Amino acid sequence: MPRLQALLWDVDGTLADTEQQGHRPAFNAAFAAAGLPWHWDTSTYQRLLHTSGGRERILAWMAEVAQRDEGLAAELHRSKQQHYSELLRRGSVPLRPGVLALACEAAAAGLQQWIVTTSGRAAVAALLHNTPELEACFGGWICGNDVQRKKPDPEAYILALEHLKLPACEVLAIEDSPQGLAAAKGAGLEVVITTDNWSGGATALAEAALVVEHLSQGPVTLKQLSALLP
Show Cβ contacts of residue 50 under 8 Å, excluding neighbours closer than 6 positions. 178, 179, 199
> What digits encode the pLDDT tens for the residues 151-203?
999 999 999 999 999 999 999 999 999 999 999 999 999 999 998 767 677 78
Report yes or no on whether pTM surpasses 0.75: yes
Pick the CATH number of 19-89 from 3.40.50.150, 1.10.3720.10, 1.10.150.240, 3.30.200.20: 1.10.150.240
What's the mean pLDDT when you consider all of the chain?
94
Position 180 scores a pLDDT of 94
pLDDT digits (tens, 9 = 90+) for 8-18: 999 999 999 89
% pLDDT > 90, the chain: 82
Distances (CA, A) of 135 to 105, 120, 125, 139: 14, 16, 9, 9
More confident residue, 135 or 123: 135
The domain ranges of the chain are 6-17+95-226, 19-89
Query: Using 50, 70 and 90 to split pLDDT, how confident is the model at 6?
Result: very high
pLDDT value, residue 202: 78
Q: Which residues are catalytic?
A: 10, 12
- pLDDT band of residue 52 (cuts 50, 70, 90) is confident
CATH number of the domain at 6-17+95-226, please?
Answer: 3.40.50.1000
Q: What is the pLDDT of residues 198-221, one digit of tens each?
A: 767 778 889 999 999 999 999 999
